[in-house]
């Protein structure tokens, strides 16, 4: 997803703003109209924040019902270990989308 100028303006403008069909913006409800420099700075900040969380969006774990079912089956069969289905399902997602080092 690409963060756009409207997102940046909405994040910093104290009033309401409307994007018109010609790409310009109409400011409502008072507040100081942000400068182009402030908009671009906020745009970069919002995009960097969004990009930094990509790994979180990519991690698609099995739904909780499936996870609990796998965990129950592992407990019931005495396989609460790295050989069980629950561990393997969660580990596969973590391996495919590791958390970036900070």
Mean pLDDT, the chain cut into blocks of 10 residues (102 residues total): 91 92 90 93 95 85 89 88 88 86 67
8 A C-beta contact, residue 34 and residue 12? yes
pLDDT score recorded for residue 5: 94
Q: 28: which strand partners?
A: 16
The enclosing H or E element of 26 equals: strand 25-28
8 A C-beta contact, residue 93 and residue 61? yes
pLDDT score recorded for residue 53: 87
Q: Tell me how long the chain is.
A: 102
CA 30 to chain centre: 31
For residue 83 the two structure tokens come to 């050989």
Predicted model pTM: 0.59
């Amino acid at each position: 997803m690409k963060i756009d100028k409207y997102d940046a303006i909405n994040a910093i403008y104290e009033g309401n703003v409307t994007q018109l069909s010609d790409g310009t913006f109409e400011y409502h409800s008072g507040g100081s109209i942000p400068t182009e420099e402030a908009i671009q700075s906020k745009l970069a900040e919002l995009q960097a924040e969004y990009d930094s969380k990509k790994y979180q969006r990519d991690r698609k774990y099995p739904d909780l019902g499936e996870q609990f079912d796998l965990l129950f089956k592992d407990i019931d069969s005495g396989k609460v270990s790295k050989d069980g289905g629950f561990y393997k399902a969660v580990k596969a997602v973590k391996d495919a989308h590791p958390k970036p080092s900070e």
